[in-house]
Amino acid sequence: MTRIYEWDDRLDFGKYKGEPLDEIFQKDSDFVQECLEQVEGFRITINTCKHLENLIEGYRFSDKARSSIINQKKYSSLPGASEFKLYPTGDPFIQPLDDIGYGDKK
């Protein structure tokens, strides 16, 4: 099952269960990156990614972790929702970051 986390959502598993994602990231960014890379169904939004990366100067998630970043305005429905197109990643929720100008920080 896919769970999409916002930066202020509380984790519902693991050693940081019950703690907000941004607080976890500030003390253990490797844990959050490992979740993105290894925990099936663990996803964050692009806004959450940007928020977390801004908490630690110069930090950027790995390319593998970025494959779990969600980019769409509406994600209340999971796979099968007709309003989502299938991106080249093969997942209706995951759009390659290059396609959305992710690297264009201003």
Average pLDDT over residues 9-20: 95
Express each pLDDT in 36-94 by its tens digit. Answer: 999 988 999 888 999 999 999 999 999 899 888 875 444 444 444 333 343 444 454 44
pLDDT at 45: 86
Buried b (16+ CB within 10 A) or exposed e, 52-74: bbeeeeeeebeeebbbbbbbbee
Residues 4 and 84: their CA atoms lie apart, in Å, by 15
The answer to whether 7 and 21 are in contact (CB under 8 A) is yes
106 is a domain residue: no
3-state class of 18 per DSSP? coil
104 is a domain residue: no
77 is a domain residue: yes
Residues 54 and 99: their CA atoms lie apart, in Å, by 21
| pTM of the predicted protein model | 0.67
Provide the number of structural domains found in the chain: 1
Q: Which residue range is the domain that position 13 belongs to?
A: 3-99
Average pLDDT over residues 17-44: 95
pLDDT at 74: 45
